[in-house]
Copies of this chain bind each other. A is one copy, B any other.
Amino acid sequence: MKYLHTMVRVTNLDDSIDFYCNKLGLTLLKRNDYERGRFTLVYLCAPGDDSAQLELTYNWDPETYPMGRAFGHVAYQVEDIYATCEQLRQSGVTINRPPRDGYMAFVRSPDNVSIELLQAGGPLPPCEPWASMPNIGTW
């Protein structure tokens, strides 16, 4: 038995690929367009690790996707949580839960999927501007 992927539905594929790939730094592994079913599947992974993937489902006919509450988040470990958050912030992504503790941060995708970022190897020393940055919204 092996974990393959977590699937989330997205309302705009370009916005999602921009967020997950250009801003968060995931790799786009493949994209399959299904003309008959009128949907597209996109598979993403952390760079160099395609064993655990994120599957984006884009239905060509518009729908709304309420987030609900059963699903919580998808979590990724990062090499330098400050660098990752700075890159996200500079690209316009709100850091909902800044890494005040040098360890944990949360952001949201364009469709409101909560993404947890955790520092590899445990907390870094607290560092400004993160240490005194307030939370924004929920995650």
Show the binding face of A for B, using Cβ within 8 Å. Answer: 1-9, 25-26, 45-47, 49, 51-55, 57, 63-79, 111-113, 116, 118, 120
* A67 with B70: CB separation less than 8 A: yes
* Docked pose: A77 CA to B46 CA in angstroms: 19
Closest-CB distance, A97 to chain B (whole angstroms): 14
User: Which B residues touch A54, using CB under 8 A?
Assistant: 3
* A2 with B69: CB separation less than 8 A: no
* Docked pose: A7 CA to B101 CA in angstroms: 21
Chain A contact residues: helix, strand, loop or mixed: strand
* Docked pose: A71 CA to B74 CA in angstroms: 10
Closest to A26 in B: B1
Closest to A72 in B: B7
